[in-house]
Amino acid sequence: MAIELRVFKAQSGLTWFKAAWKIFKAQPSTFIFMHLFIILVGLIPFVIPLLQIPAALATPFLIAGFYRAVLIKLQGEKIMLADILKPFTEKGTRLSLFRLGLYQMAVGILLALVSSALFEDALLILQENTQNPELVVEQFIAAIQPANVIIFVSLIAVYMMAFAFAVPLVYFKKKEAIFEVIKASLLSFWHNFAALGVFGGILSVLILISSLLSLIPLLIVMPISYIAFFIAYQAIFQLDEVNNTQNNDEPPSSHGQFDA
């Protein structure tokens, strides 16, 4: 059965951010520490390269845990930092999240190979000439073909759209067919290009402003953007769902959904 979705107008992108701010300010420190925890896990491979694969496979679980915390907060309950780890212990979705992590990692490796092929000449310049940094930068820029940049940016954009809603679709809707999930995520961007475009534009402006302020505001901007993106997911995909009785080993239901 195909995954159904709703279509929203451009102003919804701003509405999702406004709703996210209301949720964030109810318990800001917990959301900030959750975001920092995700960052720390992402930095593990730079410190311990052998843990690169486990760290990559853990990412979908941590994102699901963050979204789970948002949903719990929407239900009016208090959240804790430990809530971000709940998906690791919940039955029914662990295998699907693990498989999703494998797919993301595989596509990431393919993108790395493509980038190496597209920018081979530029990368060789960086490796061979280290005596004159200014000359290296000039040669590096000159070696990059604009067409290759467009191709690579386009591939990155498709990758991000394909997996953007994958985690909540797998975790909350319990979808096991990863290709179906990827298709649904891509279609959501196709049909909601205006709303998600506004969302992306607002996020880009906030990141730009944060970069001018030593990036510290990102500790607030990024958790809010995660919350806003989950609200966007609820608005687009959670269509009049009936709440089911849950036990402690299952993800929470969609009760408490924000009305976009």
1 lies in some domain = no
Q: Please name which of 81, 85, 78 lies closest in space to residue 23, comparing C-alpha atoms.
A: 78
Are the CB atoms for 234 and 254 separated by under 8 Å? Answer: yes
Q: What is the pLDDT of residue 239?
A: 62
Give the separation between CA 54 and CA 123, rounded to whole angstroms: 28
For residue 165, what are the contacts with CB-CB under 8 A and spacing of at least 6?
181, 184, 185, 188, 233, 236, 237
Its pTM stands at 0.86
Give the separation between CA 55 and CA 191, rounded to whole angstroms: 33
Number of domain units in the chain: 1
Say which residue the tokens 């990412």 belong to: 59
3-state secondary structure of 113: helix
Q: What is the pLDDT of residue 50?
A: 87
Each residue's pLDDT tens digit in the chain (260 positions)? 678 899 999 999 999 999 999 999 999 999 999 999 999 999 998 888 888 899 999 999 999 999 999 999 998 899 999 999 999 998 888 999 999 999 999 999 999 999 888 888 777 776 766 666 677 777 777 778 888 889 999 999 999 999 999 999 999 998 888 999 999 999 999 999 999 999 999 999 999 998 888 778 899 999 999 999 999 999 999 764 434 434 444 555 544 555 55
* Host domain of residue 208: 24-237
Count of CB atoms within 10 A of residue 19's CB?
A: 20
16 lies in some domain = no
6 lies in some domain = no
247 lies in some domain = no
106 lies in some domain = yes
110 lies in some domain = yes
252 lies in some domain = no
Q: What is the pLDDT of residue 141?
A: 78
Residue 174 gets the label, from left (phi > 0), alpha (psi -120 to 50) or beta, of: left
Length, in residues, of the chain: 260
Q: Number of C-alpha atoms within 13 angstroms, CB side, residue 199?
A: 28
For residue 195, what are the contacts with CB-CB under 8 A and spacing of at least 6?
8, 9, 10, 11, 12, 13, 16, 232
18 lies in some domain = no
